[in-house]
């Protein structure tokens, strides 16, 4: 599986229809393979280039329009993308990238080593996931037309993983401009399987297939992202077959599970984690013992089973078990913070927070962060909190890209996920997905998405090549962040 995809997938249920629908187009009545996904809002608000803005919507589009140098799958496996091969020197200070030849940007210009050098020098430093890497880059050298060597000033553990989440943008479009305000952020030009086609403010964004895609035939002709802000309307559109994929509230999971035409997407995304953080500067959480007691009191299993409708699982450490290379066996939440209510109450008594007449010890304010753009507002709000007003508990959730086709119902603690599954699965890099109208179930993609099966579409895409998402006419539903 290829394709880098990061999309946040906090605690809601994402449902999507991943079936191919055929639309007659043109005088020849040529059937088109169309995939339709609902969006919670207007993605154009922040732009579609995730290199310059951190948002789930931007990552969703970047996963289809742009390419990274290296693909990373949902199980963290790396595979060639725009770089056919790579090599890290023995001392870890030099990364040699051998580029794929014959690749062109959507505007017909060739993809070159100069584009890669430009991205490392000017775009990666602006990326949320690239800034730390950029700080360690000493220089970038083009040794021949298809080889780029990145020289580091110091070693960087997640070097390849950091490179794998950087999408390449064209130097000839960005050089000499204000990168952040460049119009290409709203109408991206990439090397990916889908091209930007059209935008109707407040209604939809349309992508069309890239006929010259370097990885081969793209399995959808058009992808339509229709804007449906209301959760109930999204659910009804999915269940009625009007759309192929949608983000649903976790409260809809029972309905999804009972519907034979809807399938929860369980593949195609990185594991995602929903975190709860304490404001240690507040009056109540200044004492580490109190923070530990409150954390131990939180029933993480109940949250996973009830709030997340069992789509997630309680985390027992800072990283999901799938990322075994990052696990620290000395960290064990169940062992270190046992939910012993008697001990927790005793700790709070000793800390000077006795129960009041109504049984309440103190009150906390909680702030939910749905995207990084909310972080600043939350920080400002916290800054205005007085010690007596309670410490806000912030909850941060991250999703992975949206991958149109493949279903992933992640049963690990809600970790970080990967992207779109139809045209390209951000985690697998493949074109697939389409409209929901077929009776044949298609393989779910890894995001909790649901696939709806109905009558077979007039045109069904041929099976994708090895390593790509399978094209199955069913609708998918995936877990999404809580609204």
* pTM exceeding 0.95: no
Query: Two tokens at 85?
Result: 């091969």
* Whole-number pLDDT of residue 374: 52
**Distance (Å, rounded) from C-alpha 431 to C-alpha 4?**
13
Instruction: Give pLDDT, residue 252.
Output: 87
Coil, strand or helix at 99: strand
Task: Give the C-alpha separation, 395 to 368, whole Å.
Answer: 5
Query: What is the model's pLDDT at position 312?
Result: 80
Which tokens sit at 386? Answer: 């007085």
User: What is the pLDDT, as a whole number, of residue 66?
Assistant: 97
Q: Provide the domain count of the chain.
A: 1
CB crowding 67-103: b at 16 or more within 10 Å, else e: bbbbbbbbebebeebbbeebeeeeeebebbbbbbeeb
Q: What is the pLDDT of residue 423?
A: 41
Residues 237 and 243: their CA atoms lie apart, in Å, by 6
For residue 339, the SS3 value is: coil
What is the DSSP code string of 371-413? STHHHHHHHHHHHT--GGG---EEEEE-B----SS--B---SS
Residue 322 within a domain:
no
Give me the domain span that covers residue 150: 67-174
30-39 and 222-227 as β-strands: parallel, antiparallel, unpaired?
Answer: parallel
Q: Is 117 a member of any domain?
A: yes
> Count of CB atoms within 10 A of residue 161's CB?
17
Instruction: With respect to residue 482, please indicate whether it lies within any of the assigned structural domains.
Output: no
pLDDT of residue 7: 33
Alpha-carbon distance 459 to 29, whole Å? 12
- Measure the N-to-C terminal CA separation of the chain; round to a whole number of Å: 30
What is the Cα–Cα distance from 450 to 476, expressed in whole angstroms? Answer: 2
Per-position b or e across 297-316, b if 16+ CB within 10 A of its CB: eeebeebbeebbbebbbbbb
Query: What DSSP string describes 190-257?
Result: -SSSEEEEEEETTTEEEEEE-TT-TT---S-SEEEEEE---HHHHHHHHHTTS-SEEEE-GGGHHHHH
DSSP E strands in 27-176: the ranges are 30-39, 67-68, 70-72, 78-80, 83-88, 94-99, 137-144, 147-152, 167-168
If you count DSSP H runs as helices and E runs as strands, how many of each does the chain have, helices first?
12, 20
Residue 170 falls inside a structural domain: yes
CB atoms within 10 A of CB 369: 20
Q: Give me the CATH number covering residue 166.
A: 3.90.76.10
- Does residue 50 fall inside a structural domain? no
| pLDDT < 70 regions, the chain | 1-30, 268-272, 322, 370-483
Q: What's the pLDDT at 380? A: 52
Could you identify the residue written with the tokens 């699965």? Answer: 425
Q: Is 193 part of a structural domain of the chain?
A: no
Q: Look at residue 132 and tell me if it is in a domain.
A: yes
Cβ distance 220 to 432 under 8 Å? yes
pLDDT digits (tens, 9 = 90+) for 315-355: 888 887 767 778 888 999 999 999 999 999 999 999 999 99
In-domain check, residue 321: no
The pLDDT, as a whole number, for residue 54 is 81
The Cα–Cα gap between 380 and 194 comes to 39
């Amino acid at each position: 599986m290829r394709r880098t995809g990061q999309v946040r997938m906090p605690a809601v249920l994402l449902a999507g229809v991943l079936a191919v629908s055929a639309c007659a187009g043109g005088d020849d009545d040529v059937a088109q393979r169309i995939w339709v996904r609902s969006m919670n809002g207007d993605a154009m608000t922040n732009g579609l280039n995730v290199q310059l803005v951190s948002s789930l919507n931007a990552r969703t589009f970047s996963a289809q329009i742009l390419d990274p140098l290296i693909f990373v799958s949902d199980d963290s496996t790396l595979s060639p993308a725009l770089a056919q091969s790579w090599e890290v020197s023995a001392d870890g200070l030099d990364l040699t990238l051998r580029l794929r030849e014959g690749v062109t940007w959507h505007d017909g210009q060739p993809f070159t080593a100069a584009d890669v050098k430009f991205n490392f020098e000017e775009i990666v430093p602006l990326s949320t996931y690239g800034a730390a890497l950029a700080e360690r880059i000493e220089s970038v050298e083009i040794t021949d037309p298809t080889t780029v060597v990145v020289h580091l000033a110091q070693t960087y553990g997640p070097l390849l993983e950091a490179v794998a989440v950087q999408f390449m943008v064209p130097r000839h479009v960005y050089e000499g401009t204000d990168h952040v305000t460049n119009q290409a952020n709203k109408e991206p030009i990439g090397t990916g399987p889908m091209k930007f086609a059209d935008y109707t403010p407040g209604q939809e964004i349309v992508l069309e297939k890239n006929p010259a895609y370097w990885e081969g035939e793209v399995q959808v002709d058009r992808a339509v992202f229709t804007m449906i802000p209301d959760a109930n309307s999204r659910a009804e559109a999915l269940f009625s077959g009007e759309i192929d994929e949608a983000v649903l509230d976790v409260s809809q999971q029972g309905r999804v599970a009972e519907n034979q035409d809807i399938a929860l997407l369980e593949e195609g995304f990185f594991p995602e984690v929903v975190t709860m953080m304490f404001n240690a500067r507040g009056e109540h959480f200044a004492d580490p013992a109190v923070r530990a007691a409150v954390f131990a009191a939180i029933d993480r299993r109940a949250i996973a089973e009830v709030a997340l409708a069992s789509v997630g699982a309680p985390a027992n450490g800072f990283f999901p078990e799938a990322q075994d290379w990052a696990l620290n066996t000395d960290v064990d939440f169940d062992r270190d913070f046992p939910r012993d209510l008697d001990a927790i109450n005793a700790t709070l008594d000793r800390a000077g927070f006795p129960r009041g007449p109504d049984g309440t010890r103190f009150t906390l304010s909680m702030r939910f962060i749905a995207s990084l753009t909310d972080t600043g507002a939350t920080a400002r709000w916290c800054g205005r909190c007085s010690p007596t007003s309670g410490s806000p508990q912030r909850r941060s959730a991250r999703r992975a890209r949206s991958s149109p086709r493949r279903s992933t119902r992640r049963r690990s603690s809600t970790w970080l996920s990967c992207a779109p599954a139809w045209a390209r699965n951000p985690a697998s890099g493949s074109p697939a997905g389409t409209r929901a109208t077929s009776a044949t179930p298609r393989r779910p993609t890894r995001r909790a998405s649901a696939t709806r099966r109905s009558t077979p579409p007039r045109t069904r895409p041929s099976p994708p090549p090895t390593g790509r998402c399978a094209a199955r006419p069913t609708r998918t539903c995936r877990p999404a962040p809580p609204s």
